[in-house]
Amino acid sequence: MERKLLKKIRLNPVQILAIGFAIVILTGAILLTLPISSADGTNTSFIDCIFTATSAVCVTGLVTLDTGTHWNYFGKTVIITLIQIGGLGFMSFATLLSLILGKKITLRERLIMQESMNTFNLQGLVKLAKYVLIFTFSVELMGGLLLSTQFIPEFGLAKGIYYSIWHSISAFCNAGFDLIGGFSSLTGYSENIVIILTIGSLIAVGGLGFIVWSEIYNYKGLKKMSTHSKLVILMTTILIFGGALLMFLFEFKNPSTLQPLSIKGKIINAWFTSVTPRTAGFNSIPTDGMTTAGKFLTIILMFIGGSPGSTAGGIKTSTFGVLVMTVISVIKGREDTEIFKKRIPRDIVYKSLAVIIVGLLLVITVTMLLSITEIGASFEYLLYEVTSAFGTVGLTLGLTTKLTSIGKILLALTMYCGRVGPLTVVLALTRNKSNSGIRYPEDKIIVG
């Protein structure tokens, strides 16, 4: 009886991944509620703590309490630890602990790692996990050193080093949390090229994906690079620089954003404003002062997000790329989706469509629910906030701090679904069904 019961409740890798993130969030929330976490030494509301912990683990950046002023150094350290775990995935940390303790990685653990890292096969997973950890800590250290040249003169040695490492981790993990205070993010550093370029570069590196960086590091020619990496690099380049050009045109004459800046500041901040929605949440210009076109472009970039196997969220660049190339193939009259003279399997095309549709349905549903709970908030603000939560971005027009308790819970769930993956959450809640072997007769439906 016991064995039968254990078999029934045995979780698959997708379910373990979803539950693992939830456990890390709950643990972080409990720590943040304690008086030792807040600056004034009092307990913090559990709803605000669960929202903050979810935002940190899901590397989003939306906050109901100002990170720089509400939390003391213990609370800030808890938050940055949650960000690091969430950015890399708890399985990477579990692997690190296993390697330190000399424990062997079991097949079941490898299956969970495969799901967590979005890899094609089980071969070389432990080696990849080691590479991910070494690469992450190396890049974060380099980012911290660059930021320290600006923060140490401003805040002093100890505080400057802490702020530098803290913001480097937050940027690489695409979290968007900051310690500047006053919900100002990086708006006070819009003309500081070192900070803007360093943070922006960390965001781009973290959002590209560890598998892609592994191939770049072991570069053996463009022909030997995988189709996945080529598609990710192409889509990332188009979205960043295409978005920067459009943002420059949309905001160039806007007195609330780019107009007061020097020409150098305009170019750098237009680039940064295109990078950060994918999916970091830092902002160097006031988001609520942007033009309608700028806000809408930001929503699109937030929904697409970063790349698979990275610290970023959203539907992912490769998913969007597969959809675009499918449309192009249909227009050309091709039977299959073709990318770089390679045929893409239909199951990948179907999965891409499923991810996009489930993501859209989630954003639409939560926006509709918030329109009921958040009385007085405009549709533009609600859609922006929900897309930011789904894409684990963290950009806001100022609505987050005004949310009702129900609104906070809804956005927290949206952040969780966005980080774990909407399709992963659906699969975790449903039972795996084997193929029945039945294939029904073909028929046609008029579309378009």
Half-sphere exposure of 361 toward its Cβ, with a 13 Å CA cutoff? 9
Query: Is residue 436 included in any domain, yes or no?
Result: no
- For residue 170, is pLDDT > 80? yes
Cα(424)–Cα(280) distance, rounded to whole angstroms? 22
* 109-133 residue pLDDT tens: 555 555 555 555 555 566 667 777 8
Cα(97)–Cα(104) distance, rounded to whole angstroms? 11
Q: How confident is the model at residue 422 (pLDDT cuts 50, 70, 90)?
A: low
- For residue 224, is pLDDT > 70? yes
Cα(141)–Cα(185) distance, rounded to whole angstroms? 21
Question: Would you list the DSSP string of 54-65?
Answer: HHHHTT----SS
Cα(25)–Cα(15) distance, rounded to whole angstroms? 16
Cα(207)–Cα(142) distance, rounded to whole angstroms? 17
Q: What is the pLDDT of residue 7?
A: 44
Query: Is residue 441 included in any domain, yes or no?
Result: no
Helices 13-33 and 46-57 cross at an angle (nearest 10°) of 130
DSSP state of 304: H
Q: 366, 365, 435, 432: which is closest to 403 by C-alpha?
A: 366
* 176-217 residue pLDDT tens: 899 998 888 999 999 999 999 999 999 999 888 877 887 887
* 59-74 residue pLDDT tens: 888 999 999 999 999 9
Cα(120)–Cα(15) distance, rounded to whole angstroms? 19
- For residue 2, is pLDDT > 50? no
Query: Is residue 127 included in any domain, yes or no?
Result: yes
Q: How confident is the model at residue 98 (pLDDT cuts 50, 70, 90)?
A: low
Q: What is the pLDDT of residue 283?
A: 92
Q: What is the pLDDT of residue 444?
A: 67
Q: 107, 115, 91, 54: which is closest to 308 by C-alpha?
A: 115
Q: Which residues contact 310 (CB under 8 A, 6 or more apart)?
A: 174, 206, 207, 208, 209, 210
The stretch 436-440 carries a mean pLDDT of 66
- For residue 225, is pLDDT > 90? no
Q: Is the model more confident about 129 or about 430?
A: 129
- For residue 442, is pLDDT > 80? no
Q: Are 231 and 339 in contact (CB under 8 A)?
A: yes
The CA angle 58-324-274, to the nearest 5 degrees, is 50
Q: Is the model more confident about 91 or about 310?
A: 310
Q: Are 395 and 283 in contact (CB under 8 A)?
A: yes
Q: Is the model more confident about 431 or about 206?
A: 206
Q: How confident is the model at residue 417 (pLDDT cuts 50, 70, 90)?
A: confident
Q: How confident is the model at residue 174 (pLDDT cuts 50, 70, 90)?
A: confident
* 241-293 residue pLDDT tens: 999 999 999 999 999 999 999 999 999 999 999 999 977 889 999 999 999 99
- For residue 4, is pLDDT > 50? no
Three-state secondary-structure class, residue 38: strand
Q: How confident is the model at residue 423 (pLDDT cuts 50, 70, 90)?
A: low
Query: Is residue 277 included in any domain, yes or no?
Result: yes
Q: Which residues contact 229 (CB under 8 A, 6 or more apart)?
A: 211, 212, 215, 216
The stretch 297-322 carries a mean pLDDT of 88
Q: Are 148 and 58 in contact (CB under 8 A)?
A: no
- How many domains is the chain built from? 1
Q: What is the pLDDT of residue 3?
A: 44
Query: Is residue 355 included in any domain, yes or no?
Result: yes
| Global pTM value | 0.85
Query: Is residue 446 included in any domain, yes or no?
Result: no
The stretch 373-388 carries a mean pLDDT of 93
The stretch 368-395 carries a mean pLDDT of 93
Percentage above 70 pLDDT, the chain: 82
The stretch 98-118 carries a mean pLDDT of 54
Q: What is the pLDDT of residue 280?
A: 84
Query: Is residue 442 included in any domain, yes or no?
Result: no
Q: What is the pLDDT of residue 155?
A: 93
- Average model confidence (pLDDT) for the chain? 84
Lowest mean pLDDT among 36-45, 98-107, 122-131, 378-387: 98-107
Residue whose entry in the numeric block shows the structure tokens 């963290």: 394
164-198 per-residue burial string, b: 16 or more CB within 10 A, e: under 16 = bbbbbbbbbbbbbbbbbeebebbbebbebeebbeb
* 26-55 residue pLDDT tens: 999 999 999 999 999 999 999 999 999 999
Query: Is residue 440 included in any domain, yes or no?
Result: no
Structural domain that includes position 77? 8-428
* 324-347 residue pLDDT tens: 999 999 998 888 898 888 898 888
Residue whose entry in the numeric block shows the structure tokens 């190396």: 138
